[in-house]
Amino acid sequence: MINAPKGTKDILPQESFKWQFIEKTAREVATAFNIKEIRTPTFEHTEVFLRGVGEGTDIVNKEMYTFNDKGDRSITLKPEGTAGVARAFVENGLFNTSLPVKLFYITPCFRYERPQAGRMREFHQFGVELLGATNPSIDAEAIIVAKTFFDKLNVKGLKLFINSIGCKNCRSKYHQALKEYLTENKEKLCPLCKERFDKNPMRILDCKNEDCKEITKNAPSILDYICEDCSTHFNQVQNLLKVAGVEYTVDAGIVRGLDYYTKTVFEFVSTNIGAQGTVCGGGRYDSLVADLGGNDVSGIGFALGIERLLLLMENTGVEIPNENITDIYIASMGEEGSVKAFELANELRIKGVKVDIDHLNRGIKAQFKYADKIKAKFVAVVGENEIANGIIKVKNMQDGSETAVELQNFINFIVNVK
């Protein structure tokens, strides 16, 4: 037997309906905000992520699935969605269309990580990217898209944390202050944070290592260092969140793992799914598009992990409706009956009814058992007698009641009753 690769998972029928519901909800919520779908390739030139995600990030340093293809090009399976969307934005000249360009995607992502609950090597993201607007209202809108999505799914127990990590100008002053604070404990930092110390000290605040957490506990806050412009922007984002009745906590410890973020960053975090508690992360990226060779276009977006979302919904007992339930199972007896069942099923399906029939010459009892198993809402029985008499019995499997329906009215009856 050949197993699926470590860190990947088959999504079987008993679970795929949940994915369909989540994806449908994502599309509905996106549409409510005039956000249109974009589909970018599963792999990109490695350069896209080197420039887009940034060298020195966990993703680029150790998590990418990178290989040379037969033409000796360096290719990488997308570890996240934003860089590819920004590449597509530049390449397709979306800058010259009406701004802002509001995009969403639902995509598999690939990261070489140590698999554990909520951490896979292939996982899936629902993400939103809003490009070409600098107003704080679009930051607030991005946050509210995610919040609306969670609310619509009835997800409980997610806490929203927001922060501003400033722009290039204010951040350099902060880096200096942070490094001064960290200097005396530099040797006690984890090896990765020792590297971060020079490259991007703010990322040390995001480290999950207990020693590093202890060291950074009383670190200076970025919020004391952001410039007036960044500070005003952040206040306006908060005002709009209040206007929308969105509860949030300002947490200067939220810095996000990627290089491209500026100003607003945010996370939706759960305490119900163990160590991997961040279900959704996002922020503003004012230099990403330019870093990928485009115009000076700012953007804001988020990505949320669908596996973690499902884990949270499972752990907190949120029901996900199965919208694929078969409306009617047409059981049949004898050759004539099975041909009639086949014909009726065909007609019903064309009219949008979900129908199943027997394909294994099962006895009538076994067919009922099967209908029960697939949770069919109705079962009809078609045999020689039914055809001769022109009457079909339809059983309502929910309440057990039976209705005798004239064969000529059968299609209409089912279409109306299902």
Binding residues vs ligand ATP (CB under 6 A): 80, 111, 113, 118-120, 123, 125, 257, 276, 278-281, 303-305, 307-308
Closest CA relative to residue 55, chosen from 205, 260, 254: 260
Closest CA relative to residue 151, chosen from 318, 305, 37, 18: 318
The residue whose Cβ lies closest to ligand ATP is: 305
Minimum gap (Å) between residue 1 Cβ and ligand ATP: 25
In the bound state with ligand ATP, the residue whose beta carbon lies nearer, of 41 and 257, is 257
CA-derived radius of gyration, the chain: 27
Minimum gap (Å) between residue 119 Cβ and ligand ATP: 4
The CA-atom distances, in angstroms, between 265 and each of 56, 218, 234, 257, 280 are 19, 20, 10, 11, 11
In the bound state with ligand ATP, the residue whose beta carbon lies nearer, of 261 and 329, is 261
In the bound state with ligand ATP, the residue whose beta carbon lies nearer, of 76 and 278, is 278
In the bound state with ligand ATP, the residue whose beta carbon lies nearer, of 265 and 380, is 265
In the bound state with ligand ATP, the residue whose beta carbon lies nearer, of 56 and 257, is 257
**Residue 360 CB neighbour total at 10 angstroms:** 7
Cβ burial of 258 (10 Å; 0-12, 13-18, 19+) is buried
| Residue 189 contacts residue 182 (beta carbons within 8 Å) | yes
In the bound state with ligand ATP, the residue whose beta carbon lies nearer, of 70 and 114, is 114
| Spatial separation of the C-alpha atoms in residues 13 and 322, rounded to whole Å | 11
In the bound state with ligand ATP, the residue whose beta carbon lies nearer, of 121 and 395, is 121
Q: Which two tokens stand for residue 105?
A: 């995607």
In the bound state with ligand ATP, the residue whose beta carbon lies nearer, of 125 and 338, is 125
Minimum gap (Å) between residue 260 Cβ and ligand ATP: 11
Question: In degrees, to the nearest 5, what angle opens at C-alpha 321 toward C-alphas 317 and 324?
Answer: 145
| Spatial separation of the C-alpha atoms in residues 111 and 117, rounded to whole Å | 15
Minimum gap (Å) between residue 328 Cβ and ligand ATP: 39
Minimum gap (Å) between residue 111 Cβ and ligand ATP: 5
Closest CA relative to residue 287, chosen from 256, 259, 257, 260: 260
**Residue 365 CB neighbour total at 10 angstroms:** 9
Minimum gap (Å) between residue 368 Cβ and ligand ATP: 42
For 290, left (φ over 0), alpha (ψ -120 to 50), or beta? Answer: alpha
Minimum gap (Å) between residue 255 Cβ and ligand ATP: 10
| Spatial separation of the C-alpha atoms in residues 114 and 258, rounded to whole Å | 19
Minimum gap (Å) between residue 274 Cβ and ligand ATP: 11
